[in-house]
Structure 1
Amino acid sequence: MSYLRNPSFEAPDIAPWTRMNQAAAVQYKIWGTSDARSGGAVLVMSTSQMEGSVCQDFTATGPPPSISCFAWVRSASQSPVKGALAIWDLGANRSVAARFTATPEWRLVTCTMDTAGSGPRQIRIEFYLRTTNHELWIDSVNAF
């Protein structure tokens, strides 16, 4: 079971996903489309500043002392979009990231991080964009 809420963006409210890095430069929305990877909607994000990001925080409890995340990404156009899927262990102030280049075809991106301790851990799943002014579609994000 995923720790994330609204992981496939089917709920009309974008919360608890939020803008984080370069927040003022990031545009994001849930968009209904028949081209979604699953269901009928995707998260669409773009940024006018390098490393603009969208994230969701949650508390992970109990073992195992690791977090894995996977997501499907694609470019909204023929232009490639560079980005990264990151996992943050906020209590330990460290992260790991999987860089990707999204194309017009859906692509699976995965990332795993060993976390500190076995008790409750504050975790952030974050998508960064390194390509500016192009839309990235995100769907079916799961963290466990």
Structure 2
Amino acid sequence: MDVTLATGGTWTDAACPVARTTDLVGDRWSLLIIRDAMDGASTFTDFQRGLGIARNILTDRLRKLVEHGILDKSDAADGRRYNYRLTEAGRDLFTVVVALRQWGERHAFAADEPHSTLVDGQERELSELRALNRDGQPVTVESSRVRKLD
């Protein structure tokens, strides 16, 4: 099945939610822009300084994130710049970013290696995310399957 994206490209696997999501936000820079937006970055300069990303790449990723409804772009007060804010769809990626962070804490750092920590408004670390079924029972790779389209 070959379904066209709003930007003219095609989906990697049109029937798979994971493939569609990675088509939209799966590259390194897009995820880091989303992470920084969650941390308060809102201007081109904020993102460029925080990430050290090349201007042309940042311009491209911001444009794509706006086109796909993950960021909203509005004129800044000075009229010369734009502000970028997460849309509802962008904020819905919070759990994805937390899951990536927690995976990284477990697998991308040595046991004694320092790293940043995500905390709630009361400075408490977050609980480990777990996949649960509708009854609240844990679901694993072994106890789940993908129901594919016919």
TM class by shorter-chain length? under 0.3
Higher RCO (CA-CA < 8 Å; seq separation 6+): 1
Determine which structure has the larger strand proportion and give its number: 1
Determine which structure has the larger helix proportion and give its number: 2
